[in-house]
């Protein structure tokens, strides 16, 4: 089980000391006012129903102080002396006090709810941000293994369930508990003997709540997993809608969604069943407790050892205590249900993030000499064979190297080792003789510009997309990057230029335009190393020729690694590296490889686009 539990996260509520103190204090003050109102009903009934000629509010209070000497320190004699001696005036004063207590109670209830809800919302918002930040630092292999949908589900849906539990704890449960205890104390004030039955039944209530709490906890975890699968199926269908439609796959998508949806309903029904059973059982135990109290009271009244009005007041106070404590069953169920998402969130937060232990490592100086892959081996988790098998490759600073090979030969995997998207299981990647694992991760990635085959574009302006890496650049730098990427022409034609808004995933732009923006973004950061992973795959030949000419100017003093299928890109490289089945088969210029490498000849004839 994860070290994180609901209570681990709940302790964070205490970090906001002002809100936490306000939540507790206002809850206790509100409960105390209610208890005072219950106790005040006794003297009022005595004034109205009493048959003693000398009974008045002053004498009743004085008798209470005499009966309970400790009250003398709370109720001074001077206050007793100013109380009215007229019975009607005493009733009016008590009613006025009750009205004042009601207004005061409403104000404290409002302040308690405001503090508690703000406290829960702010705490969960902090946890949500922490979970998202940690998810961004997770090793890429972990994200691939778990799946992005699972992580998003935990950050969004699990935090919502956690907030529900924290809200139940800070607002409803705390208020109900303090009011129930206050009413219970009032019942003891009237007659302690009736509280015996209530105390006896408490362990039975605890056993019932614990049993059903475990079932709800387990069921809530399965429900969250079912919702996670539903989200995954939905995302896959919507993100791949083009393929779904062109393959007439709507029926299959509906069936997958239907299966996932039925699982959600099934798991959710089990949780609701446990909730539904626990509440009637608690009510049944409460009826048994009240019946026991009534039996005790009847015996004492018949024996003349209890006044009937005291019995009614004590029974009423206990009934009020029960009415406040009874909802605790449902509220504790909410807390138990929140334990499952707390564990799932903790499971993500407990995975070590990349770079967290490397903040004290030295910064990597700007690349000026060489990049070397030395005896590199790598295997994806769960894969049957290695993706890279003993790769040895040295690239000089300023060299343009094109990597080619059949699909699945390890080209992209090799390029991913340079910015440490993955780390080799054996061997090392060195930049200027320094193992990249021995350098500060941020300083490494800051000088590597990567343009993937599927560019990352988010909803926002073109300017925001160009600066998504956090680079601070002038208008001239942005314009130069756009020109180098052959994107300036179409950006300038847009109504708002750099401030034109893009839809999700860059919708509204062609594939080539999206690629050119991705290239421009990589150039904005002025990297010393540029990695193009099929970056020109969606660009027409004319645009590619112009981009290639621009990159020839840009790459001066920089190292360029390109994974390409276009023959023009390959031929313009200083050196071509041919890979097959995770190894380097040969390297050289286009002419040299055409003369001696049969694999390269086949690639030129079958895969490389002219």
pTM of the model: 0.71
Q: Round to whole Å and give the CA distance between 70 and 535.
A: 85
Residues of the chain with pLDDT > 70: what percent?
68
Q: Which of 288, 319, 349 is a domain's end point?
A: 349
Whether residues 162 and 302 fall in one domain: yes
- Amino acid 414: pLDDT: 93
The token pair at 520 is: 């421009």
Do 218 and 140 fall into the same domain? yes
pLDDT of 276 higher than 80: no
- Among the residue ranges 43-52, 123-132, 241-250, the one predicted with the least confidence is 43-52
Q: Point out the least confidently predicted range of 173-177, 228-232, 571-575.
A: 173-177
N-terminal to C-terminal alpha carbon distance within the chain = 57
Q: What is the pLDDT of residues 322-363, one digit of tens each?
A: 665 655 656 666 777 788 888 888 888 888 877 655 667 889
CB 343 within 8 A of CB 1: yes
Cβ count within 10 A of residue 471:
15
Closest by CA to 328, choosing from 270, 292, 283, is 283
- Worst-scoring range by mean pLDDT, 228-242, 257-271, 472-486, 491-505? 228-242
- What integer is the mean pLDDT of 56-72? 63
* Per-residue pLDDT at 492: 87
Centre a 10 Å sphere on the Cβ of residue 384 and count the other Cβ atoms it contains: 6
Higher pLDDT pick, 40 / 473 = 473
Residue 481 lies in a domain: no
pLDDT at 1: 40
Distance (Å, rounded) from C-alpha 138 to C-alpha 128? 15
Query: Do 326 and 397 fall within a single domain?
Result: no
Q: For residues 176 and 325, is the Cβ–Cβ distance under 8 A?
A: yes
- Nearest CA to 491 out of 525, 465, 517, 455 is that of 517
Q: Bridge partners of 373?
A: 393, 429
Task: Evaluate if residue 372 carries a pLDDT over 70.
Answer: yes
pLDDT band at 143 (very low <50, low <70, confident <90, very high): confident
CA angle in degrees (0–180, nearest 5) for 528-533-538: 125
Same domain for 159 and 284, yes or no, is yes
d(CA 405, CA 413): 12
Q: Are residues 429 and 300 part of one domain?
A: no
Structural contact between residues 177 and 458, judged by C-beta atoms closer than 8 angstroms: no
**Which domain covers residue 172, as residue numbers?**
6-226+272-349
390 and 294 within one domain: no
Candidate ranges 64-73, 105-114, 313-322, 576-585; pick with highest mean pLDDT: 576-585
8 Å CB contact between 555 and 400: yes
Report the pLDDT value the prediction gives residue 395, as an integer from 0 to 100: 94
Q: How confident is the model at residue 515 (pLDDT cuts 50, 70, 90)?
A: confident
Lowest-confidence segment of 76-85, 438-447, 482-491, 577-586 by average pLDDT: 76-85
Reported as a pLDDT band with limits 50, 70 and 90, residue 144 is: confident
Q: Which of 296, 315, 349 is the last residue of a domain?
A: 349
Calpha distance 389→386 (Å, rounded): 6
Residue 573 lies in a domain: yes
Residue 417 lies in a domain: yes
Find the CATH number of the domain harbouring 420: 3.40.50.300
Task: Report the pLDDT value the prediction gives residue 211, as an integer from 0 to 100.
Answer: 67
Q: Work out the number of other CB atoms within 10 angstroms of the CB of residue 165.
A: 28
Tell me what pLDDT residue 579 has. 92
Residue 547 forms part of a structural domain: no
Half-sphere exposure of 64 (CA within 13 A, CB side): 21
Q: Quick one: 440 and 299 in the same domain? A: no
The whole-angstrom separation of Cα 372 and Cα 360 is 24
Same domain, 284 and 430: no
Token readout for 346 is 């903790």
Tell whether 407 is covered by a domain.
yes
Could you give the number of structural domains in the chain? 2
Label residue 256 by pLDDT band (50, 70, 90): confident
User: What is the pLDDT at residue 460?
Assistant: 82
Q: pLDDT digits over 385-441, tens only?
A: 899 999 999 999 999 999 998 888 999 899 999 999 889 999 999 999 999 999 988
Q: In whole angstroms, what is the distance from residue 222 CA to residue 245 CA? A: 32
* Domain CATH for 79: 1.20.1560.10
554 lies in some domain: no
Q: Is residue 137 over pLDDT 60?
A: yes
The last residue of one of the domains, among 320, 349, 378, is: 349
What pLDDT score was predicted for residue 397?
93
Widest CA span of the chain, in angstroms? 126
Q: Is the pLDDT of residue 375 over 90?
A: yes
Confidence of residue 382 (pLDDT cuts 50, 70, 90): confident
- In angstroms, rounded to a whole number, what is the distance separating the alpha carbons of residues 278 and 280? 6
> Are residues 71 and 161 both part of a single domain?
yes
Neighbour count for residue 199 (Cβ, 10 Å): 10
Query: How is residue 566 annotated by DSSP?
Result: B
Residue 163 lies in a domain: yes
Give the residues across from 560 on adjacent strands.
400, 530
More confident residue, 5 or 363: 363
pLDDT at 165: 85
pLDDT, tens only, 199-235: 655 565 556 666 666 666 677 777 777 877 877 777 7
Nearest to 481 by CA among 543, 525, 445: 525
Report the candidate in 517, 528, 529, 457 with the shortest Cα–Cα distance to residue 487: 517
Secondary structure of 414-474 in HEC code, one letter for each residue: HHHHCCCCCCCCEEEEEECCEEHHHCCHHHHHCCEEEECCCCCCCCEEHHHHHCCCCCCCC
Residues 150 and 299 in one domain: yes
| DSSP string covering 250-294 | HHHHHHHHHHHHHHHHHHHHHHHHHHHHHHHHHHHHHHHHHHHHH
Do 113 and 203 belong together in one domain?
A: yes
Q: Which two tokens stand for residue 77?
A: 């004699």
Placement of tokens 């893009």 in the chain? 502
Least confident of 296-310, 352-366, 482-496, 550-564: 296-310
Q: What is the DSSP letter of 469?
A: T
For residue 2, the model assigns a pLDDT of: 42
CB-count exposure of residue 1 (10 Å: 0-12, 13-18, 19+):
exposed
Collapsed DSSP state (helix, strand, coil) of residue 397: coil
Helix, strand, coil percentages for the chain (3-state, nearest 5):
65, 10, 25
Answer whether residue 451 shows pLDDT above 60: yes
**Which range has the worst mean pLDDT, 41-50, 86-95, 292-301, 567-576?**
41-50
In-domain check, residue 18: yes
∠ CA 367-369-372, rounded to 5°: 90
Is 387 in contact with 407 (CB distance < 8 Å)? no
Task: Measure the CA–CA gap between 169 and 113, rounded to whole angstroms.
Answer: 12
CB 56 within 8 A of CB 62: no
**How do 448-451 and 529-533 pair as beta strands?**
parallel
Tell me: do 154 and 68 sit in the same domain. Answer: yes
Angstrom distance (rounded) from CA 398 to CA 559: 4
Question: Per-residue pLDDT averaged across 21-29, rounded?
Answer: 87
């Amino acid at each position: 089980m994860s070290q994180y539990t609901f209570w681990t996260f709940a302790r964070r509520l205490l970090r906001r000391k002002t809100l936490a103190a306000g939540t507790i204090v206002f809850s206790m003050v509100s409960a105390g006012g209610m208890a005072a109102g219950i106790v005040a009903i006794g003297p009022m009934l005595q004034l109205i129903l009493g048959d003693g000629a000398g009974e008045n509010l002053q004498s009743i209070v004085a008798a209470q102080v005499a009966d309970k000497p400790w009250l003398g320190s709370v109720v001074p004699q001077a206050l007793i002396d100013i109380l009215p001696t007229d019975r009607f005036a005493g009733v009016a004063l008590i009613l006025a006090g009750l009205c004042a207590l009601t207004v005061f109670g409403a104000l404290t209830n409002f302040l308690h709810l405001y503090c508690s809800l703000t406290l829960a919302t702010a705490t969960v918002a902090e946890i949500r941000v922490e979970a998202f930040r940690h998810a961004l630092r997770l090793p890429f292999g972990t994200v691939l293994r778990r799946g992005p949908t699972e992580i998003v589900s935990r950050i969004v849906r699990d935090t919502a369930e956690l907030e529900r539990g924290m809200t139940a704890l800070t607002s409803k449960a705390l208020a109900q508990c303090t009011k129930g205890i206050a009413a219970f104390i009032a019942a003891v004030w009237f007659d302690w003997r009736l509280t015996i039955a209530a105390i006896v039944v408490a362990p039975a209530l605890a056993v019932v709540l614990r049993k059903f709490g475990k079932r709800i906890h387990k069921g809530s975890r399965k429900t969250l997993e079912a919702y996670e699968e539903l989200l995954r199926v939905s995302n896959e269908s919507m993100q791949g809608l083009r393929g779904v439609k062109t393959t007439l796959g709507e029926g299959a998508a509906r069936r997958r969604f239907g299966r996932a949806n039925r699982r959600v309903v099934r798991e959710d029904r089990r949780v609701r069943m446990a909730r539904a059973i626990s509440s009637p059982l608690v009510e049944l135990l409460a009826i048994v407790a009240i019946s026991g109290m009534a039996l005790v009271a009847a015996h004492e009244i018949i024996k003349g050892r209890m006044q009937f009005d005291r019995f009614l007041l004590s029974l009423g106070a206990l009934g009020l205590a029960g009415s406040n404590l009874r909802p605790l069953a449902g509220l504790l169920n909410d807390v138990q249900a929140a334990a499952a998402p707390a564990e799932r969130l903790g499971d993500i937060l407990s995975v070590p993030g990349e770079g967290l232990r490397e903040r004290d490592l030295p910064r990597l100086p700007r690349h000026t000499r060489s990049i070397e892959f030395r005896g590199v081996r790598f295997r994806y988790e769960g894969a049957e064979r290695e993706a890279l098998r003993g790769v040895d490759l040295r690239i000089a600073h300023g060299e343009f190297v094109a990597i080619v090979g059949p699909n699945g030969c390890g080209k992209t995997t090799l390029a991913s080792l340079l910015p440490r998207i993955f780390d080799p299981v054996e061997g090392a990647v060195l930049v200027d003789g320094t193992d990249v694992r021995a350098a500060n991760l941020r300083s490494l990635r800051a000088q590597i510009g990567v343009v993937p085959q599927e560019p990352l574009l988010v909803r926002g302006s073109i300017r925001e997309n160009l600066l998504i890496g956090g680079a601070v650049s002038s208008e001239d730098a942005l314009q130069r990057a756009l020109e180098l990427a052959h994107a300036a022409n179409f950006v300038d034609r847009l109504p708002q230029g750099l401030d034109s808004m893009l839809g999700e995933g860059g919708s509204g732009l062609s594939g080539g335009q999206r690629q050119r923006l991705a290239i421009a973004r990589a150039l904005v950061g002025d990297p010393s190393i540029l990695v193009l992973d099929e970056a020109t795959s969606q660009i027409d030949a004319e645009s590619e020729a112009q981009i290639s000419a621009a990159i020839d100017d840009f790459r001066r003093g920089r190292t360029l690694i390109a994974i390409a299928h276009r023959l023009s890109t390959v031929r313009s490289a200083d050196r071509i590296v041919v890979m097959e089945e995770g190894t380097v088969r040969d390297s050289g210029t286009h002419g040299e490889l055409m003369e001696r490498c049969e694999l390269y000849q086949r690639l030129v004839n079958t895969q490389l686009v002219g």
